[in-house]
Amino acid sequence: MDPDIIQRFLESVGQKADVDLYLKLFRSQRKESFAIIVADAQIVRAALDPFHFDLRILAGLGLYPVVLVGLLDARDADKQSQRIWEWLLEDEVPARVIGSGTDLPQEIQTAVHQTFDENTIPIVSLDAAKELAIDDRFRLLRTLAASLETRKIIFLSTSSGIEREGAPPISLVNLSADYDRLLATSDLPRRHASLLRHVKALLEALPQRMSVAVVNPLHLLRELFTVNGAGTLIRKGSHFEKHDGLGAVDRARLTTLLESAFGRSLVPGAMEDGGLVVAQSEHVYLEENYLGAALLASTAIAPYLGKFAVDRQAQGDGIGGEIWAMLTRDFPVFFWRARPSNPICSWYAKQCDGLARFPDWHVYWRGLPPEKIPAAIAYCLALPQSFQD
């Protein structure tokens, strides 16, 4: 497929900055760690056309997901795997069907690994495991994900994500905070409640940091290449700390986080006492492994959000959404700024009550009284920058 066509298509899915960010992230990982896409027979029968087109796009970008067929229902998995292979072959996309056996032995795991050296999409059929209980088939998925050190598992669904009766799909499920509440109600369809149970067990059993998404195949690329995603993101959940100032914070690790998130180095002295970052850190929200942070300063106008950052390797994992939820709960009124080139600007625009655009900065606010908006804008435009150009 022509690279220009691929790039133009991806730009139609999301903002170019988003696409470039995730492409760089995915390409920085080991090929085999990219993703496992779970597609059952129903999906293959009803949505093979858009799904195989997405696989063509991914292969054209040098990204090769594992396609796992038959996890939730293994009947007919060999036949549907063959259909996927034939459609990809017709489009000259290298692919290979691999049978799983009933226990995913080492030789099958080795065969899957070899496909990535050959720039080939592995299509793993669980037809031979159709007599196993679903718990045992998830055990095969766990073995495969552990072997590949998979970073993301995507369940293709006929729905738009995890749904509740009479409500829009859920965009994020933090299992540590939401799991018991969601299963305690009768709002979830049985299949989605079962999926949550199995996903929770899967994430707890795997050593690597990994996220799971449930998405309609029509929106697969938007789920992969945009900040907002398109389906339901399921995370094991993180633990967050709150600090008043940086006294108990490892400043070297925080520096690494900020520079990773923004892709630039802090100006000299920014993390020293009296420096630009320290002065904006009266209130600190910090993920325990330094994967995300929000730093706020008190001003005469309202609290100012000086930094909102998620480590590049963790972007797309939902950590930013969790920090934002805590931040907006504790601070109903605050304001902040961002460079126009910042890929998160489109997301900020959806979270704010108002914004003002200038050549060097976009200024945002939530809950700010109208009479204070001019002062907030002036404050943001007058602040020196904390990162080097």
Angular region, 358: left φ>0, alpha ψ -120 to 50, beta rest: beta
CA distance 285 to 262: 17
| H or E stretch at 345 | helix 345-351
Cα 305 to chain centroid distance, Å, stands at: 23
Give the count of beta carbons closer than 10 Å to the beta carbon of residue 202. 19
CATH fold of 240-382: Aminopeptidase (3.40.630)
DSSP letters for 172-212: EEEHHHHHHHHHHSS-S-HHHHHHHHHHHHHHHH-SS--EE
**Upper half-sphere CA count for residue 227 (Cβ side, 13 Å):** 20
The domain spans of the chain are 3-235, 240-382
Instruction: Give Cβ neighbours of residue 206 (< 8 Å, ≥ 6 apart).
Output: 142, 145, 146
The pLDDT tens digits of the residues spanning 240-265 come to 889 999 999 999 999 999 998 888 89
- For 196-245, what is each residue's pLDDT tens digit? 999 999 998 988 878 899 999 988 988 888 766 788 888 887 788 899 99
Q: What's residue 317's pLDDT?
A: 65
Q: What is the pLDDT of residue 262?
A: 87
- pLDDT at site 150: 93
Global model pTM greater than 0.85 = no
Quick: pLDDT tens for 43-54. Answer: 888 888 889 889
Structure tokens at 320: 């930013």
**Which residue is associated with the tokens 């691929």?**
6
User: Which residue numbers in the chain have pLDDT < 50?
Assistant: none
Q: Are 64 and 34 within 8 A, CB to CB?
A: yes
Q: How many CB atoms lie within 10 A of CB 71?
A: 23
Sign for the pseudo-dihedral over CA of 372, 373, 376, 378: negative
Longest pairwise C-alpha distance within the chain: 69
Residue 95: name the closest of 69, 128, 124 by CA.
Answer: 124
Helix (H, G, I), strand (E, B) or coil at 265: coil
CA 250 to chain centre: 26
At residue 36, the pLDDT reads 96
What fold, for 3-235? Carbamate kinase (3.40.1160)
